[in-house]
Amino acid sequence: MKASRPVLPGFGLALGYTLVYLSLLILLPLGGMVLKSAHLGLAGILEIATDERALASLRVTFGTSLLAATLNAGFGLVVAWILVRYPFPGKRFVDALVDLPFALPTAVAGITLTTLYAGNGWLGRWLEPFGIKVAYTPLGIVVALTFITLPFVVRTLQPVLEDIEAEVEEAAASLGASRWQTFVKIIFPTVFPALLTGFALAFARAIGEYGSVIFIAGNLPLISEITPLLIISKLEQYDVAGATALAVVMLALSFVLLLGINLLQWWAANRHRPTEPLNVAAGTESP
């Protein structure tokens, strides 16, 4: 019988299109950035990157991004679980709210958060008496990045949680497994690769965030200045080489971190499947 024609083009054509498309959109701009800073040499790039102000901005950028992504990994799992497993009034409204950071311009988000958390803001006025200052501090950056990156974790976890059959949990419970055992040995191993994916997406998004951060950060050198803002400052001073050097350092650090996360995700995805409910309850191995 004659084989049916594939709907999509063959491997050769599809691969060629993919390589050309990615080269024009990603490899060419990144290659131009690297070439622009290449004339400085490795020593020149390291000199710019190890400047006190640059190091402080890198610490703020990567530290706050890592903290925001970690917070969303925890709270995003809870939000996704609630949206998938529990019916409640206004569920569709809450589900739509999760996507709000995608639709809202980041500058608007930054101005709104600054208004809320400033010393005389609706929330800030209640926090400052306790010595908690959010706006114009690194804590404000974490708040802005957490707001921006929440959808990446929730939307990555939701399809995986929907695929977990409730009967598996019921079987574990019927065999004597506690809720904590069911979560640790059945649910969490299943969602862990997706959780890592959401964490990586949130972390990558947070590193490059600019619009929502510059309003709430205060942009104080050595305290709350992020690297993207420092790059913009160098460009405004016509220091293109310095700006590209910092961008290359950020690119290299981000690549190493994301590569490590992807390797961890690959390792988690290739581990053995979660233990059977019988094993969870009785602690025995399958024959």
**Cβ contact 215:111 at 8 Å:** yes
Note the pLDDT of residue 178.
82
pLDDT beneath 50, residues of the chain: 272, 274-278, 280-287
- Per-residue pLDDT tens over the stretch 273-283: 544 444 544 44
Which residues, 6+ apart, have CB-to-CB distance to 185 below 8 Å? 177, 274, 275, 279, 280
Angle at 22 between CA 16 and CA 25, to 5 degrees: 140
3-class state of residue 109 by DSSP: helix
- Burial classification of residue 57, based on how many CB atoms lie within 10 Å of its CB (0-12 exposed, 13-18 middle, 19 or more buried): buried
Note the pLDDT of residue 2.
53
CA distances (Å), 134 to each of 72, 121, 123, 217, 267, in order?
Answer: 18, 11, 10, 9, 38
- Per-residue pLDDT tens over the stretch 40-55: 888 888 888 888 999 9
Domains of the chain, first to last: 62-225 (1.10.3720.10)
